[in-house]
Structure 1
């Protein structure tokens, strides 16, 4: 490392910071060679980030060169300020999202649950992906998967607002399609909120039924006891926040041998690929037989390369807890729909 000595008591870098302007000074390089130094403070938005120091042996800096060094220092300080602000916003958004997703509401004890949230490895920003569970009466649980459009702190804040609205509406124990209708109407009145997709699944273990409703979200999948995955045909209504409404309810039998899988688009979507092809890749999967929900979820992420997804990934796996000696209430239609 080249170290210059300055005849003056104060180094030009310290003077430049104190005076907040470029400073030139004579310097002596190792070996006794005479040189000149110019120091320009790195100042931006009233904050000091350091000093740009340039040395020239056997010559001096012209006024134009000194001005150029000063201009370069200002640009550098501005970039540093923007980078630090960006990093601070990213940390805030990530901390907010981790706090919100770390402990979703407790499902009923008769339901096994596993969740994962994976920020995108290709983006420095956090998205609005989220999941939630709401414990209802009579042993039922409402499972929620949502995705607010956009990234960054605003998306994370809107995600929190959707989650709060959802908890309030769900506490009234309405069917999923009516929960979406009320949530859509409530959020549509807040013009600053970004639209969001949302999938609801109300699981009733005692009856062996799952009831679904979707607001622009991708369909869930059910993994059978043989490890084969199949998509559930859920009518897709408009995203939340549009005020349009029009959500439908569809029911399906769900046994303790089956695992319900809900996810955001980051799990399956690939750049340049049609969404139907992405969903087909999921439906073609054959997973390990007899695996628990945690192991099954890890295998899904591994098989679909969730760790290297191009977007954030939120995914939830749920399974009715098997109680020996109990049977479902009776046969249920595999697909029944209800309108508004």
Structure 2
């Protein structure tokens, strides 16, 4: 460190010009026997700092100066690209967070929890999304979808699917007809990426769950005792193919059960059969009495989802038990 010149001197020399091979100066005054080269880190007309090299003894020759100038140019180019990437990532992140809005509010007779996890520690989530839509008569439509690909392009297509879902679901159609119309819209746009999707219409009043899928994995139903099982869903093609052929199926829903919808990043592992991956999820044991947030914690921890190879979106929903006659509506208290 004692060989290095004063910072002020190096900066002053770096601002000077006119010497060949990018060399700004050699040897600060009052430092005999020490050779100093100051080379600016310049790329694209911008300067990002200085490369200062010092040694005792013979002065640096021209070939050394030219080599250091080349190294400085390469270093400056990497710095410029890194800063440009940081700005682009920040802008894309802001846009994607705006696209990846929180799902709508369900009816008060339903508790939900949602998590999004990007793969590999990335700051951006791709085309994985969750949504809830209020329907008539206390029913709620739960949705999870996964657009092919990653990054901002997938997020833009995700937002398009999400917008069409909200518009179509407002007509209170059966889940399979919602998928059919979403598929028709997506197939009419040549640049739209295909997507898988799962719809679950929960009717707490009747104790029913109606499912329809577009190439998506089945949901998990967790009982009050903590045991879990996958619910069968009719197989349908991904959205955007224009093939149609979607069907709905209705399952009973008992009080205290929790429905878990998820994208494939939660369970899939490289080189592993998907049936084995789903069996691992269904084999989890859930402590009795967990709320929906704790259920998601159990799932994400049990499957080590924070180290998943793909993006993860997961939604847990639990209907409230049917109210006895005379009990006040959900979210209200009886006054004394």
TM-score normalized with structure 1 length: 0.85
275-284 or 145-154: bigger deviation: 145-154
Aligned to 1:66: 65
- Who is 1:212 aligned against? 211
Range 83-92 or range 246-255, more displaced: 83-92
Distance 1:69 1:173 in 2: 69
Shift in Å, 1:169: 1.5
Q: Specify the alignment match of 2:24 in structure 1.
A: 24
How many residue pairs get aligned? The number is 324
Q: Deviations over 1:236-282 (max 9, x none)?
A: 22222222222121111112221100011121112221111100101
1:15 aligns with 2:6: no
**Kept in 2: contact 1:24–1:37 (CA 8 A):** yes
How many angstroms does 1:21 deviate by?
Answer: 7.5
* Structure-2 residue corresponding to 1:321: 320
SS at match of 2:74: helix
Q: State the distance in 2 between where 1:7 and 1:223 align.
A: 68
- Secondary structure at the counterpart of residue 49 of structure 1: strand
1:40 is matched with: 40
Listed as ranges, the gaps of 5+ residues in structure 1 are: 327-340
Cα distance, 1:100 vs structure 2: 4.3
Contact 1:13 1:53 in 2 (8 A): no
Matches within 5 A, 1:166-245: 166-245=165-244
User: Helix, strand or coil: the match of 1:26?
Assistant: coil
- Contact map agreement 1:3 1:30 (CA 8 A) in 2: no
2:328 is aligned to none
By how many angstroms is 1:103 displaced? Answer: 2.6
Q: Does 1:145 align with 2:144?
A: yes
| Contact 1:22 1:41 survives alignment (8 Å) | no
Aligned to 1:133: 132
Q: Is the 8 A contact 2:38 2:50 kept in 1?
A: no
TM-score (norm 2): 0.86
- Kindly report the root-mean-square deviation, in angstroms, between the aligned alpha carbons of the 2 structures: 2.8
Structure with the higher fraction of residues in strand conformation: 1
Question: What corresponds to 2:250 in structure 1?
Answer: 251
Taking a change above 3 Å as real, the CA distance of residues 78 and 213 of structure 1, as seen in their structure-2 partners, is farther
CA deviations on 1:15-71 (whole Å, 9 max, x unpaired) are 36x999713312139964331414133313x44333333334433444443333333
Return 5+ residue gaps in structure 2 as ranges. 326-336
Q: Name the SS for the 1:191 alignment partner.
A: coil
- Change in Cα spacing, 1:11 to 1:220, as seen in structure 2 (3 Å) is same
